Structure 1
Amino acid sequence: MLYATLKLIHLLALIVWIGGMVFAHFFLRPAAQTLPPALRVPLMLGVLQRFFAAIGAAVVLVLGTGLWMIGRVAKEAVQSGGQFSMPLSWTVMATLGLVMMAIFGHIRFALFKRLQRAAAASDWAAGGQALASIRTWVVVNLWIGVAIVAVVRLA
């Protein structure tokens, strides 16, 4: 029961993360593009601030539950006298998941700081550049997330 609950938490956190990237990239961004920079940059700053807080929590949940589930399966294998060999799909998922977390860290702690500074200075051009950089890395993370889902579901 605990394993199933942790797996559910793991999946729900990933749905928030990947679904949020889909929403932001394909729906929010195009609508916000119609606004002048003086409105668009503060809007995106506020949205991203809230989204990144949720993703920060999602990262902690995904990492914690993922490590626990792998550890639990490894422990059960060893306790039953067997040997644990992590499936290739789990290895790909864990590796790419860590890459996604590193990219999120770059977005949150480097690129988002640029956006915050630009918005505070009312430098809409710099804000637009920061948003473009964030968008590029969000798209990379989105593709990695979709690849992880494909690998796990097709394995």
Structure 2
Amino acid sequence: MLYNALKLLHVLSIIVWVGGMVFAHFFLRPAAQQLAPAQRVPLMHSVLQRFLAAVGAAVVVVLTSGLAMIGMVSMGGGFAMPWDWTLMSGVGLVMMAIYAYIYLALLSRLDTAVAASDWAAGGAALARIRTWVGVNLLLGTAIVVVVLLW
């Protein structure tokens, strides 16, 4: 029962993370492009602050639940982690590092630009964030496809 609860939390957190990236990348950003920079940049800043905070919580849950599930299965000795779990773990750690870069470096550039009403710098920060979110979206989608098809 505990393993199933951990797996549920793991999957729900991934849905928040990957699903949020899909929404932001394919629906919110294109709609926001119709706004003037003075409206678009603060809107995206506000959305990203909320989304990245939620992803931070999701990252903690994904990492904690994943390690707990690996630990539960490996108890008793003789455990060799399946290749798909190894792939999921490795790519997941890369995604977490990219998230940390977005949150710790790129979001602060956007914060500074919005505080200064520098819409060009804000647009540049958003473009960098969009690029890295796209990379994470590709990685997250690849993990889901590989794990579910093999």
**Could you state the TM-score of these two structures normalised by the residue count of structure 2?**
0.99
User: RMSD of the TM alignment (CA)?
Assistant: 0.5
The equivalent of 2:7 in structure 1 is 7
The equivalent of 1:38 in structure 2 is 38
The equivalent of 2:144 in structure 1 is 149
Structure 1 residues without counterparts, runs of 5 or longer: none
The equivalent of 2:87 in structure 1 is 92
**Structure-to-structure mapping, 1:1-155, within 5 angstroms:** 1-75=1-75, 77-78=76-77, 83-155=78-150
Structure-2 separation of matches of 1:150 and 1:62: 18
Structure-1 separation of matches of 2:108 and 2:5: 35
Output the amino acid matched with 1:117: T
CA shift digits 1:49-86 (9 cap, x unpaired): 000110000000000000000011001x42xxxx1000
Structure-1 separation of matches of 2:85 and 2:145: 12
Structure-1 separation of matches of 2:122 and 2:53: 20
Structure-2 separation of matches of 1:70 and 1:147: 21
Structure-1 separation of matches of 2:35 and 2:148: 39
Report the CA distance between 1:150 and its aligned residue: 1.1
Which structure 1 residue ranges, 4+ long, deviate > 6 Å from structure 2?
A: none
Report the CA distance between 1:87 and its aligned residue: 0.3
**Could you state the TM-score of these two structures normalised by the residue count of structure 1?**
0.96
Structure-1 separation of matches of 2:133 and 2:66: 22
Structure-2 separation of matches of 1:53 and 1:139: 18
CA shift digits 1:85-141 (9 cap, x unpaired): 000000000000000000000000100000000000000000000000000000000
Aligned residues: 150
SS at 2:7 equivalent: helix
Structure-2 separation of matches of 1:126 and 1:87: 45
